[in-house]
Structure 1
Amino acid sequence: MAKDDLPEPKRRNRTLNIADVLSGALDPVLKKRGFASRDIITHWAVMAPKPYDQVAIPDKLTWPRGERSAEGATLLLRCVPGHALAIAHEGPKIAAAINRYFGFLLVSAVKLSAEPFTPGSGQKAQNPTQPSQSVIAKVGAQVAEVADDDLREALRTLGHALSSRSGRK
């Protein structure tokens, strides 16, 4: 066989969609929580009635023992503590909205999970630090000759922010 007759090797350095990469890691975890797919989690904001789309998230699907198609699953929701009573009362409405979204009986009951949900808990708090007097003087000297007042102030703010970033390392 000549060198030109060999099949071209498959590229391994191709770009991948982040959803495809994460699906391999997320799917086993979601299956342990009773979810067959990511749809109920990724589309929660669309399928859940207002305001429950903002104050609750799906935690787990518990399937009844025996045949799965006979009955729907019980959906456990994590919710903001102040909304627990409302969600417990509106459980049939939430289940109906989810079933309407999927087009078949998926959820027969909605219950509350023991773990609370805090919206925005993944966001980091920004703690602005005040620059030292030496940094203020150094940045002020560097931007002193800028004629435009707005540009000078913007550069001063940028200089203070950059100096506080380098100080954190």
Structure 2
Amino acid sequence: MVSGVLDPVLARRAGMTSALLAAWPQIVPEMLVETTRPQKINWPRRAHEDDPFKPATLVVAAEGMAALHLQHQSGEIIQRVNAFFGFQAVERLQIVQKTVAPVRKPKRRKPPVNPADERRIEALTGTIEDEGLREALARLGRSIKQEGH
């Protein structure tokens, strides 16, 4: 559903799809996954519909030394991007050196501890004299129950 909404926006603004962003970790070597990110695809302008197709330039953001590694491996990355698209879509990489924000995974909300388990945790930890230890063990018990154990 999200890609259905984002793909038209990405296509209009950056000339690419969310599928390329999602596939980026499989396209680039593992050492470049966290420090590079495709930004946009610059498709050459065509004056007429009859003009022959020309491959695009993929603009990639890279941090520090990742830019050098990306440049060194650009031929292989271009081949992998073209394999992803299924045709000769990209002819060259343009590297923009800038900070790349890490991909954030949404935090999973843990279910609340049911009242029976809460009472059991309180009963087990209630006799512990040290308040800090008692609270730490109670938090540990709640965390274990929230994980479904």
Q: TM-score, normalised by structure 2?
A: 0.62
The residue type paired with residue 111 of structure 1 is Q
Once residues 72 and 139 of structure 2 are traced to their aligned partners in structure 1, the CA distance between those partners, rounded to angstroms, is: 55
**Which residue does the alignment assign to 1:63?**
43
What do you get for the CA RMSD once the two structures are aligned?
Answer: 3.3
- Identify the structure with bigger relative contact order (alpha carbons < 8 Å, sequence gap 6+): 2
Contact 2:64 2:97 in 1 (8 A): no
**One-letter amino acid matched to 1:42:** A
Mark the runs of 5 or more structure 1 residues left unpaired by the alignment. Answer: 1-19, 124-141, 160-169
User: Structure 1 residue runs of 4+, over 3 Å off?
Assistant: 156-159
Gap change, CA 1:91 and 1:84, over 3 Å in 2 = same
Task: Report percent identity of matched pairs.
Answer: 28
Cα deviation code 1:55-82 (max 9, x no counterpart): 2111110001116862211111111222
Pair 1:47-2:22 in alignment: no
Gaps of 5+ in 2: 106-123, 143-149
**Structure possessing the higher radius of gyration over alpha carbons:** 1
Aligned length: 117
Q: 1:33: which partner in 2? A: 14
Amino acid at match of 1:38: S
Residue type matched to 2:26 in 1? V
Q: TM-score, normalised by structure 1?
A: 0.55
CA shift for structure 1 position 83: 1.3
Q: 1:27 to 1:77 in 2, by over 3 A?
A: same
| Per-residue deviation, 1:107 | 1.0
Rounded to whole Å, the distance in 1 between the matches of 2:52 and 2:99 is 30
Residues 91 and 82 of structure 1: CA distance in aligned 2, closer, same or farther (over 3 Å): same
Contact 1:91 1:111 in 2 (8 A): no
